[in-house]
Amino acid sequence: MVMGLKCSFCERKAIINMREHRLMLCEKHLIDFMRKRVEKTIIKYKLMTKNDNILVAVSGGKDSLGVWDILNALGYHTEGLYINLGIDKYSRISKEKVERFAASRGLTVHEVDIPKAIGTSTPMAAKAWKRSICSVCGMIKRYWMNRYAKENGFTVVVTGHNLDDEIATLFGNNTTWQIDYLQRQSIVLPETHKKLVKKVKPLAFITEKESAAYAIARGIDYVYEECPYAKGATSVEFKYILNLLENRFPGFKLRYYNGFLKNKKIFGDSHVKLNECQVCGFPTTLDTCNYCRLKKHISQTAKSLTI
Ligand code: Q46
Ligand code: ZN
Ligand code: ZN
């Protein structure tokens, strides 16, 4: 709560001070603001329509449950997908939160169980494959979001990436001048292959602080603990730096992101040639996709261990 200050639109107490918009909002007006802002993003960037069959990738955190709540309130046809990564207590708690959220709103949630699908948990898989856990985890999540949506007739996949996530990625790509990554960073990832489902980020103009305030205002019981592997991630360091800039120059985050979107064309178009994986048939730049390579590696490692 913002001590003693009133909402910019009514007599109620403000729960959030949004300096970048010069607004103080009470619970009710924050909820209205967020829904309108998400709807504006959906329309401006043609993210989805009321005829789409939408799959919301939910982790149990404030952003993914919040965006599901907003899309549901706006009247979109949505179902959830929870990807169980097998990360001990974190996965157990987040799964419970997702299931409780869906049950309380009469929504359907699907689950992909990674330890069952690949034969081991995500941290063990990363260890066996000698890669960083977050890169393996990200690859597995991207693979299953798309595959589950395609195999089950969904036309759009929604993720809960917020403005802070987007600018942390942008900052990372800027500092290393990864032109191919800058070309691909977008609010809408189109279906550039017949086995790719469109992926969209309706919270791209919502800050982490606004998203947390919305979840609290809506009484969403989300998982507060971060994934144990998030500690020390460069994106966390980047967010810290970007928050310092926002505090010093209110509106910096939105200006940085909007400036990128406006000038993105200077980086040119991305021309990634996609093949179909010779094992699973899903799109990849390789002959066999990384997910199938990982699965094969794990089954071989398991065999050699049991011999
Ligand atoms: S990538 Fe890394 Fe996250 Fe996966 S292992 Fe945890 S922190 S959940 S967004
Ligand atoms: Zn108000
Ligand atoms: Zn494959």
Which of 133, 139, 223 has most ligand 1 atoms within 8 Å of its beta carbon, as the pocket-test mutant? Answer: 133
- Residue 24 CA to ligand 3 center (angstroms) comes to 49
Which protein residues have a CB closer than 5 Å to ligand 3 (ion)? Answer: 277, 279-280, 289, 292
Antiparallel, parallel or unpaired: β 188-189 and 198-200: antiparallel
What pLDDT does 304 receive?
57
How much distance in Å is there from the Cα of 84 to the middle of ligand 3? 19
Q: Is 134 a pocket residue for ligand 1 (Cβ < 6 Å)?
A: yes
If you take atom 8 of ligand 1, which residue's CA is the nearest one? 227
- Are 190 and 148 spatial neighbours (Cβ–Cβ below 8 Å)? no
Q: Is 137 touching ligand 1 by the criterion CB < 6 Å?
A: yes
Per-residue pLDDT of the chain (307 residues; tens, 9 = 90+): 566 799 999 999 999 999 999 999 999 999 999 999 999 999 999 999 999 999 999 999 999 999 999 999 999 999 999 999 999 999 999 999 999 999 999 999 999 999 999 999 999 999 999 999 999 999 999 999 999 999 999 999 999 999 999 999 999 999 999 999 999 999 999 998 999 999 999 999 999 999 999 999 999 999 998 899 988 788 999 999 999 999 999 999 999 999 999 999 999 888 888 999 999 999 999 999 999 999 999 998 876 544 3
Please count the CA atoms within 13 angstroms of the CA of 217 that sit on its side-chain side: 25
Of the candidates 47, 20, 34, the residue with the CA atom closest to the CA atom of residue 186: 47
114 close to ligand 1 (CB < 6 Angstrom): no
The residue written with tokens 């469109």 in the block is 198
Q: Is the CB of 139 inside a 6 Å radius of any atom of ligand 1?
A: no
Long-range contacts of 272-280 (CB under 8 A, 24+ apart): 272/180, 272/184, 272/192, 274/192, 274/193, 274/196, 276/195, 280/147
Query: What pLDDT was estimated at residue 305?
Result: 46
Distance between first and last Cα of the chain: 61
Diameter of the chain by CA atoms? 72
pLDDT at 306: 40
Sorted by where each starts, the structural domains of the chain and their CATH numbers stand as 38-271 (3.40.50.620)
Q: pLDDT, tens digit, for every residue of 258-285?
A: 999 999 999 988 888 899 999 999 999 9
12 and 28 Cβ atoms separated by less than 8 Å? yes
Buried b (16+ CB within 10 A) or exposed e, 171-190: bebeeeeeeebbbebbbebe
Whether the Cβ atoms of residue 247 and residue 239 lie closer than 8 Å to each other: no
As a 3-state breakdown, the chain gives helix, strand, coil percent values, each rounded to 5, of 50, 10, 35
pLDDT tens, 46-79?
999 999 999 999 999 999 999 999 999 999 999 9
pLDDT of amino acid 110:
98
Neighbour-count burial of 288, counting CB atoms closer than 10 A to its CB (0-12 exposed, 13-18 middle, 19+ buried):
middle
CA of 222 to the centre of ligand 2 (A): 24
Predicted confidence at residue 42, as pLDDT, reads: 98
- How would you classify the pairing of strands 16-18 and 23-25? antiparallel
Q: Which residues contact 140 (CB under 8 A, 6 or more apart)?
A: 83, 85, 114, 118, 122, 125, 291, 294
Tokens for 264, please give them: 């993105």
What is the distance in A from the centroid of ligand 3 to the CA of 79?
25
Quote the pTM value.
Answer: 0.95
Residue 283's beta-bridge partner residues? 276
* Packing angle of the helix pair 122-129, 290-306 (nearest 10 deg): 80
Q: What atom in ligand 1 is closest to the CA of residue 59?
A: 8
Do residues 176 and 182 lie in contact, with contact meaning Cβ atoms separated by under 8 Å? no
User: From CA 137, how far away is CA 199, in angstroms rounded?
Assistant: 18
Report the separation in Å between the CA atom of 271 and the middle of ligand 3, taken as the mean of its atom positions. 21
Ligand 1 centroid distance, CA of 231 (Å)? 10
Nearest CA to ligand 1 atom 7: 230
Other Cβ atoms within 10 Å of 106 Cβ, number: 7
